[in-house]
């Protein structure tokens, strides 16, 4: 059980699975690889989120913390709920196909 949020951490969300992963958290090499891919996915999400002045941080291999420039934070349980949480923090819808956003991403 996670001591901070009081939830059991036993299942891996499909966005955190690698192709040969199981749905159970396993220690050892598989866990290290899963953690590396989580950090990589967090970095990729931040490439988009910086456009909205948001930042995503990986939290202990089980959750994420999304924060805005004003210091507000939300716990994101998995990447499947990231955009919904981002919209909640921002107060308006996020459009991943926004032409200005896509232009800014191409510049990177």
Q: In which order are the strands placed within the sheet that holds 63-68?
A: 54-59, 63-68, 73-76
Helix (H, G, I), strand (E, B) or coil at 7: coil
Rounded Cα gap, residues 76 and 96, in angstroms: 18
**Predicted pLDDT of residue 1:** 47
Tens digits of residue pLDDT in 23-53: 555 556 677 888 888 999 999 999 999 999 9
* Residue 10, helix vs strand vs coil: coil
Sequence spans of domains, the chain: 14-107
The token pair at 55 is 């930042």
Average pLDDT, the chain: 81
**pTM across the whole model:** 0.72
Residue 56 in contact with residue 65, Cβ under 8 Å? yes
């Amino acid at each position: 059980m996670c001591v901070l949020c009081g939830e059991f951490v036993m299942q891996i969300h499909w966005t955190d699975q690698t192709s040969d992963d199981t749905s159970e958290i396993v220690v050892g090499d598989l866990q290290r690889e899963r953690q590396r891919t989580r950090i990589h996915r967090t970095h990729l999400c931040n490439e988009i989120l910086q456009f909205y002045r948001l930042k995503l941080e990986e939290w202990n291999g089980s959750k994420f913390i999304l924060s805005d420039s004003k210091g507000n934070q939300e716990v994101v349980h998995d990447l499947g709920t990231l955009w919904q949480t981002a919209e909640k923090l921002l107060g308006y819808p996020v459009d991943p196909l926004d032409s200005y956003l896509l232009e800014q991403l191409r510049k990177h």
